[in-house]
Copies of this chain bind each other. A is one copy, B any other.
């Protein structure tokens, strides 16, 4: 595990706090380690039934490809068949819209990713970036 539970909890708390300050809709936040495995997750009251899967897919796509999910959206716009093929190949789902943000430490080492869903994709990403910054770590939302 490259991202410990205390850090994951701080990432979730920071993301949620940033979302509340901005008045966003109820969010679901999932934190994965660099291997793509769940470390922690929280779904706020009012966030719909399958939001865990969507937040997971944003973060999982980011870790799987080593790119923030905004870069995956750009790729999906150009080559939708590529994203469909990778979804099949990776043995899990990736959701190629903004809100899956890579987390790096001060040396640039990849620690994992935060996936957020519930508001617009742009707002989801902004909350994740703010939460990662509040934890003293570096956010990589795109390529």
A interface residues, Cβ below 8 angstroms from B: 1-2, 4-5, 8-9, 33-54, 56-57, 63-67, 73, 76-77, 79-97, 110
Contact = CB atoms under 8 A, between A and B. Distances in A.
26 contacts: A1-B34, A1-B45, A1-B46, A1-B47, A2-B35, A33-B35, A34-B35, A34-B49, A35-B35, A35-B36, A36-B50, A37-B49, A40-B43, A47-B66, A48-B63, A49-B64, A50-B86, A50-B90, A53-B86, A53-B90, A54-B90, A57-B85, A76-B81, A76-B82, A85-B93, A87-B88
A34 B82 CA distance: 24
Nearest to A82: B97
Copies in the complex: 4
Contacts of A86: 50, 53-54, 57, 95
A91 B53 contact: yes
Contact of A96 (B4, B82, B90): B82
Given A89-B57, A93-B88, A38 B52 contact: yes
Q: Which of the listed residues A2, A39, A43, A73 has the most CB atoms from chain B within 10 Å of its own CB?
A: A43
Contacts of A9: 42
Contacts of A53: 86, 89-91
A112 B102 CA distance: 22
Contacts of A110: 48
